[in-house]
């Protein structure tokens, strides 16, 4: 009911008057388009706008909803051939203004409006320069109007990424129109609030989402460069948070050069962002082997990364995955064991599967995930029952790496504490694991499984004695064995590439509880 009333108000003449200005300041600062290259996918093959009919831009029935959204956000300006005339671009913008001068829910969507402001103000050589007095006046008026709209709605916006992007748009408008300092002030105030609310003391997202930390970093650097380029004083809190987020980036990407698939992350390849950072003079370091409850142990050949953190508060859990104590193993830049990745599209079944413990390299009790998820009022999944981890030992020596940690995700329902011990011996390329299920009393006949999900490129086979499994990835060979338990091969799903899936294989160990303390020992040896 409230949403209906809100839409009526937004479409009313009262709201239109509220966000409209009769007199606006002139555009003073013109930001460089290349500053957006870390955020916008700029196509190498440019297109010429003169090949399109202006009137068909907004009325074509051939375009679906997603295509119309992309058209209305104007990010396609970054892919225009520079030979495109600003006359042609400005004609398209003029047509858009005529058709969308008042708020409408389709084209004034919060995300779309934020992107449109950023794109128009970052491409002024096409969107603004050499426009007539009347065109530039109309341009300035609609920018102001859209900015006021974002300011009015930003507190109600639910998506964190859109809030960050919206504040960036507000700040850019304030810097571009230097007489509109209230835009800049408002944008910075909101940005401070968001940072305080969503980042922990290390500058890492409370959601424990690696992808989110990189998104934050990209936008804070972008905002900083806008301040620098416009010769405005850079706020201290922006520099402080870039430093903290930079340490996070160094830990998860620069030190590893691969994407760890934990808690909402997918394969992203940040090499272009590395080039962007270098070009602008940014350099980040983090030599710690533990950061925000992730452990990363590595040498020239092997990378071992493990999630030893507790689950986040439910209000930050929309992209959390139930993979506590799971790990990934990389040899010579190729993953051997990989988590499945995160699926975040319309298919709720795949999304639910990608959040389960079963698609992580971890022990699962009775086919139940270590965390349970439910849909909230906004049809988003959030944690219903959380878990706590206990980090017992992290040791990183030349001849032996060791991680011991446990979690209580199965305590309430099954009276079981799950403990994992991982050891790696670099000199002999041997990985050893001990999985423990501990209880104060015998809990009989409860099924458990341990899965080790393999790189989709891996080739595997069971030996004739059925006691070990051979793994081949390119030129490397490995042997997996398990003491006292049968091992087998099963098919699985891999969601590592965003919102797609392919089949992979996994090694699994199964058993049934029959005593108070159960130990399952396994090994992986290079051959």
Residue 323 lies in a domain: yes
Pair (210, 321) in one structural domain: no
**What's the confidence (pLDDT) of residue 65?**
78
| 461 and 492 assigned to the same domain | yes
Does some domain include residue 54? no
| Mean pLDDT computed over 92-99 | 92
More confident residue, 444 or 223: 223
DSSP for residue 346: S
**pLDDT tens readout for residues 312-321:** 999 999 899 9
Sign of CA dihedral 328, 331, 333, 335: negative
Q: What is the mean pLDDT of residues 273-292?
A: 94
pLDDT score at 60: 64
Q: Are 503 and 492 in contact (CB under 8 A)?
A: yes
As a whole number of angstroms, the distance between CA 524 and CA 144 comes to: 61
> Residue 502 in 3-state DSSP?
strand
Question: What is the chain's mean pLDDT, rounded?
Answer: 91
Give the mean model confidence (pLDDT) for residues 226-232: 96
**Tens-digit pLDDT profile for residues 47-62:** 555 555 555 666 666 6
Cα separation values, 354 from 314, 327, 500, Å: 18, 15, 11
- Give yes or no for residue 223 having a pLDDT over 60: yes
Collect contacts of 197-203 with beta carbons under 8 A, ≥24 apart.
Answer: 198/160, 198/316, 199/241, 199/244, 199/245, 200/292, 202/244, 202/247, 202/248, 202/291, 202/292, 203/241, 203/243, 203/244, 203/245, 203/247, 203/248
Which range, 66-70, 159-163, 431-435, is most confident?
Answer: 431-435
Query: Tens digits of per-residue pLDDT, 500-525?
Result: 999 999 999 999 998 888 999 999 99
| Dist. CA 223–CA 217, nearest whole Å | 10
* Burial of 398 from C-beta contacts in 10 A (0-12 / 13-18 / 19+): exposed
How remote is the C-alpha of 99 from its chain's centroid? Answer: 35
Question: Are 484 and 420 in the same domain?
Answer: yes
Cross-strand partners of 39: none
Q: What is the pLDDT of residues 481-504, one digit of tens each?
A: 998 898 999 999 999 998 899 999
255 and 157 together in one domain: no
Please report the pLDDT score of residue 186 as a whole number.
Answer: 96
Strand order in the sheet with 290-291: 290-291, 294-298, 302-307, 327-331, 334-337
pLDDT of residue 492: 93
Task: Please check the confidence at residue 377 and state whether its pLDDT lies above 80.
Answer: no
Same domain assignment for residues 245 and 380: no
Residue 424: its pLDDT value, please? 97
Q: Residue 66: which pLDDT band, with cuts at 50, 70 and 90?
A: confident
Angle between helices 65-73 and 110-122 (to 10 degrees): 40
Establish if 100 belongs to a structural domain: yes
Residue 105 included in any domain: yes
Q: Phi and psi dihedrals of 6, rounded to 5? A: -65, -45
- DSSP 8-state class, residue 178: T
C-alpha 312/C-alpha 10 separation (Å) is 35
- Co-location of 9 and 113 in the same domain: yes
| 324 and 387 both lie in a single domain | yes
Lowest mean pLDDT among 36-45, 152-161, 286-295, 451-460: 36-45
Q: What CATH number is attached to the domain comprising 321?
A: 2.70.98.70
Helical packing angle, 181-198 and 133-153, nearest 10°: 30
Q: Which of 164, 198, 232 is the last residue of a domain?
A: 198
- Domain assignment of residue 353, yes or no: yes
Q: Look at residue 45 and tell me if it is in a domain.
A: no
Statement to judge: residues 132 and 220 lie in one domain: no
In which band, very low, low, confident or very high, does the pLDDT at 251 lie, cut at 50, 70 and 90? very high
Which pLDDT tens digit goes with each residue over 404-438? 999 999 999 999 999 999 999 999 999 999 999 99
d(Cα 91, Cα 68) in Å, to the nearest integer?
A: 18
Residue 326 has which token pair?
Answer: 């799971």
Q: Tell me how many domains the chain contains.
A: 3
Per the structure, the complete domain to which residue 135 belongs is given by 2-31+63-198
Residue 325 resides in a domain = yes
pLDDT at residue 379, rounded to an integer: 57
| Residues 484 and 343 placed together within one structural domain of the fold | yes
Residues 332 and 448 in one domain: yes
Is residue 280 within 8 A of residue 272, CB to CB? The reply is no
Burial of 291 (0-12, 13-18, 19+ CB in 10 A): middle
Separation of alpha carbons 191 and 183, rounded Å? 12
For residue 449, give the H/E element and its range.
strand 447-453
The domain boundary residue, chosen from 288, 312, 346: 288
* Boundary-marking domain end, from 129, 164, 198: 198
pLDDT at residue number 129:
93
Query: 232 falls in which pLDDT band (50, 70, 90)?
Result: very high
- In-domain check, residue 36: no
- Other CB atoms within a 10 A radius of the CB of residue 185 amount to 13
Region 25-51 average pLDDT: 78
> Within this chain, do residues 330 and 282 fall inside the same structural domain, yes or no?
no
Same domain, 348 and 479: yes
- What is the percentage of the chain residues whose pLDDT exceeds 70? 93
Q: What is the dihedral of CA 93, 98, 99, 105, to 10 degrees?
A: 80
pTM: 0.92
């Amino acid at each position: 009911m409230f949403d209906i009333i809100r839409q009526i108000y937004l479409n009313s003449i009262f709201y239109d008057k509220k966000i409209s200005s009769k007199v606006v300041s002139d555009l003073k600062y013109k930001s460089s388009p290349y500053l957006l290259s870390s955020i916008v996918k700029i196509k190498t093959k440019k297109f010429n706008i003169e090949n399109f009919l202006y009137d068909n831009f907004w009325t074509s029935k051939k375009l679906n909803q997603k295509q119309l959204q992309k058209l209305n956000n104007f990010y396609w300006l970054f892919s225009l051939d520079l030979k495109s005339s600003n006359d042609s671009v400005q004609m398209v913008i003029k047509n858009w203004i005529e058709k969308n001068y008042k708020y409408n829910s389709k084209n004034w969507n919060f995300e779309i409006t934020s992107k449109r402001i950023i794109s128009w103000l970052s491409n002024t050589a096409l969107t603004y320069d050499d426009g007539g007095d009347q065109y530039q006046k109309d341009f300035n008026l609609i920018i102001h109007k859209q900015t006021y709209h974002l300011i009015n709605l930003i507190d109600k916006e639910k998506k964190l990424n859109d809030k960050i992007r919206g504040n960036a748009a507000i700040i850019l408008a304030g810097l571009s129109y230097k007489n509109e300092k209230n835009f800049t002030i408002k944008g910075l105030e909101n940005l401070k609030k968001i940072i305080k609310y969503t980042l922990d003391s290390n500058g890492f997202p409370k959601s424990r989402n690696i992808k989110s930390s990189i998104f934050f970093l990209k936008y804070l650097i972008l905002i900083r460069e806008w301040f620098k380029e416009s010769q405005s004083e850079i706020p201290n809190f922006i520099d402080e948070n870039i430093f903290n987020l930079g340490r996070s980036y160094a830990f998860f990407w620069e030190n590893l050069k691969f994407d760890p698939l934990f808690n909402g992350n997918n394969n992203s390849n940040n090499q272009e962002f590395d080039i962007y950072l270098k070009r602008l003079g940014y350099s980040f370091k983090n030599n710690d082997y533990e950061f925000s409850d992730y452990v990363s142990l590595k040498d020239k050949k092997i990378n071992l990364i493990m999630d030893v953190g507790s689950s986040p508060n439910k209000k930050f859990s929309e992209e959390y995955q139930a993979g506590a104590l799971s790990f990934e193993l990389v040899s010579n830049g190729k993953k051997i064991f990989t988590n499945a990745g995160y699926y975040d599209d319309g298919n709720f079944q795949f999304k639910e599967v990608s959040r389960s413990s079963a698609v992580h390299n971890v022990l699962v009790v009775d086919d139940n995930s270590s965390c349970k998820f439910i849909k909230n009022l906004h049809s988003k999944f959030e944690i219903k029952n959380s878990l706590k981890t206990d980090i017992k030992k992290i040791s990183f020596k030349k001849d032996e790496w060791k991680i011991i940690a446990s979690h209580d995700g199965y305590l309430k329902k099954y009276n079981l504490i799950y403990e994992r011990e991982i050891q790696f011996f670099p000199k002999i390329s041997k990985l050893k694991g001990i999985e423990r299920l501990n209880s104060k009393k015998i809990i009989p006949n409860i099924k458990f499984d341990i899965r080790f999900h393999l790189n989709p490129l891996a080739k595997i086979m069971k030996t004739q004695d059925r006691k070990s499994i051979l793994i081949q990835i390119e030129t490397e060979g490995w042997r997996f064995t398990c003491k006292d338990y049968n091992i087998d091969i099963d098919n699985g799903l891999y969601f590592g590439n965003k919102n797609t899936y392919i089949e992979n294989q996994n090694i699994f160990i199964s058993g049934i509880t029959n005593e108070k303390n159960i130990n399952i020992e396994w090994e992986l040896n290079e051959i």
